[in-house]
Amino acid sequence: GESVGLHLPTLSVQEGDNSIINCAYSNSASDYFIWYKQESGKGPQFIIDIRSNMDKRQGQRVTVLLNKTVKHLSLQIAATQPGDSAVYFCAESGGTSYGKLTFGQGTILTVHP
């Protein structure tokens, strides 16, 4: 079936380093992608999104890259801070599931001071 998955379940980095979190998706009809950050005991927080007609989008300290050829999505966090420690989920929608998000399994990012 359709799925969105992550290559790395955990990622540990030093404060100030750049972080890259990866996500693979299998639904070739997916045309909208979102990255969420979820801190312990809280709901997912929107970080950044990207449409399928783009291959890169930048926000404040974050960049999302989309490679439709290999169905791969990544989130880059520049100058990672301890406050970035959280679980990061990618989510996609599109095809027959407009308006419904399919979530990846999540990556735990730990930032060491």
Partner 1 sequence: DAMVIQNPRYQVTQFGKPVTLSCSQTLNHNVMYWYQQKSSQAPKLLFHYYDKDFNNEADTPDNFQSRRPNTSFCFLDIRSPGLGDAAMYLCATSRSNGWLETQYFGPGTRLLVL
C-beta of 38: minimal distance to partner 1 in Å?
A: 8
Give the torsion sign (CA, 78, 81, 84, 86): positive
Per CB under 8 A, does 99 bind partner 1?
A: yes
| Of positions 14, 18, 28, 45, contacts partner 1 by CB under 8 A | 45
Helices (H) and strands (E) counted in the chain, each on its own, are 0, 11
Binding pattern for the stretch 21-40 against partner 1, x by CB under 8 A and - elsewhere: ----------xx-x-x----
Per CB under 8 A, does 2 bind partner 1?
A: no
* Helix H or strand E segment including 25: strand 19-25
Spatial contact of 93 and 30, defined as CB atoms under 8 Å apart: yes
* Closest by CA position to 82, among listed 28, 8, 1, 19: 19
Per CB under 8 A, does 104 bind partner 1?
A: yes
Residues that bind partner 1 (CB under 8 A): 31-32, 34, 36, 41-46, 49, 51, 89, 93-94, 98-101, 103-106
